[in-house]
């Protein structure tokens, strides 16, 4: 199995261990007033899940690239574009960015990602690909 | 010359044709309180330019990837992280995102990029790689 898919499954299993029901895999979110401008964003592996009436969407990132900073730029841009779309189409669903524990420990404590996550109000899920579990939620 | 470098030079020449002086190529912007967290963002080809006391930074994107939407996610994340850093280090310098005319015409009129550029207040420069000129400024 490709590492990317393994990470995807780890998040899925981790959420299920915390009693979330996976309702969409992938969650397809579209935007635009007519067919021409509909953009399928589902390819980026977003999960939809529910627990006790609470709905979330989870953008799963592997951070397997050569540069964590570059991966972070892309993850941030995707997150903010997805959130913009979700706020219009399904405002009750909260978007999270899921990052692996190794990237969290090696990169996310730095000044730039910390300042950026705070400024743009990015909610993080830190997951452990080995244990196939959610390590923590940063809201 | 690689297409990416050609696009970079087109923006540079285009700015010079409009009487901008290129002061930094690349413009290095760093962030953090000590050496450990200093991150060199210069690799992403940011230009620094000045005209009549006005200072700008220009993030040059080629949009040569397979997916304009994916390229846009990355460009947006980079732009917002760079702007966060610039606002701290050099608040008088205004950041622009430079995109080629073809990407502007094929992608940027869509609902999602339009809504995103507006929400996140992204200033665009549209450049023409063939004419090596600035096509327009969208402020």
pLDDT per position as a tens digit, A28-39: 877 765 444 445
Residue A105 is given by DSSP the state I
pLDDT for residue A101: 97
Percent of chain A topping pLDDT 70: 90
Strand partners, B98: B60, B125
Contacts with A84 from chain B: Cβ below 8 Å:
112, 115-116, 119
What are the structure tokens assigned to A20, written together? 């979330």
- Residue B43: in which H helix or E strand, if any? none
For B76, the closest chain A residue by CA position comes to A77
Contact across the interface for A73 and B77, Cβ inside 8 Å = yes
Asked if residue A100 has pLDDT above 80, the reply is yes
Asked if residue A55 has pLDDT above 50, the reply is yes
pLDDT for residue A15: 98
Interchain CB contact of B32 with A (< 8 Å)? yes
Per-residue pLDDT 10s for chain B (139 aa) are 677 788 999 999 999 999 999 999 988 877 765 444 445 554 557 899 999 999 999 999 999 888 888 899 999 999 999 999 999 989 999 999 999 999 999 999 888 999 999 999 999 999 999 999 999 999 7
Q: State how far residue A86 is from chain B, nearest Cα, in angstroms.
A: 12
pLDDT (tens digit, 9 = 90+) per residue, A67-90?
A: 888 899 999 999 999 999 999 989
CATH for the B3-29+40-138 domain, from 2.60.40.1150, 1.10.3720.10, 3.40.1350.10, 2.40.30.10: 3.40.1350.10
CA A74, A118, A80, A134 dihedral sign is positive
- Alpha-carbon distances, residue B96 vs B14, B35, B80 (angstroms): 14, 28, 11
pLDDT for residue B67: 85
Interchain CB contact of A68 with B (< 8 Å)? no
For A115, the closest chain B residue by CA position comes to B84
For A76, the closest chain B residue by CA position comes to B77
Contacts with A110 from chain B: Cβ below 8 Å:
32, 37, 39
User: Which region holds residue A53: left if phi is over 0, alpha if psi is between -120 and 50, else beta?
Assistant: left
Which sequence spans correspond to the domains of chain A?
Answer: 3-30+38-138
CA dist A47 and A95 (Å) reads 10
Contact across the interface for B73 and A69, Cβ inside 8 Å = no
A3-30+38-138 topology per CATH: Trna Endonuclease; Chain: A, domain 1 (3.40.1350)
Q: Which residues contact A52 (CB under 8 A, 6 or more apart)?
A: none
The four Cα atoms A128, A129, A131, A135 give a dihedral, to 10 degrees, of 10
Tell me phi and psi for residue B39, to 5 degrees.
Answer: -120, 120
Q: Which residues contact A122 (CB under 8 A, 6 or more apart)?
A: A76, A79, A97, A116
Contact across the interface for B120 and A32, Cβ inside 8 Å = no
Interchain CB contact of A42 with B (< 8 Å)? no
In angstroms, how far is CA A107 from the centroid of its own chain?
Answer: 17
Average pLDDT, chain A: 88
Contacts with B76 from chain A: Cβ below 8 Å:
76-77, 80-81
pLDDT for residue A4: 72
Strand partners, A54: A51
What are the structure tokens assigned to A116, written together? 């950026």
pTM of the model: 0.92
């Amino acid at each position: 199995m490709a590492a990317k898919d393994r990470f995807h499954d780890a998040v899925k299993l981790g959420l299920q261990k915390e009693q979330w029901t996976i309702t969409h895999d992938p969650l397809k979110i579209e935007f635009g007033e007519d067919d021409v401008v509909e953009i399928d964003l589902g390819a980026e592996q977003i999960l939809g899940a529910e627990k006790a009436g609470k709905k979330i969407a989870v953008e799963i990132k592997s951070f397997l690239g050569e540069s964590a900073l570059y991966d972070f730029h892309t993850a941030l841009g995707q997150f903010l574009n997805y959130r913009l779309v979700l706020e219009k189409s399904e405002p009750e669903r909260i978007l999270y960015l899921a990052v692996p524990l190794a990237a969290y420990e090696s990169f996310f404590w730095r000044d730039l990602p910390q300042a950026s996550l705070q400024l743009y109000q990015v909610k993080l899920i830190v997951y452990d690909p080995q244990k196939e579990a959610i390590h923590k939620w940063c809201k």
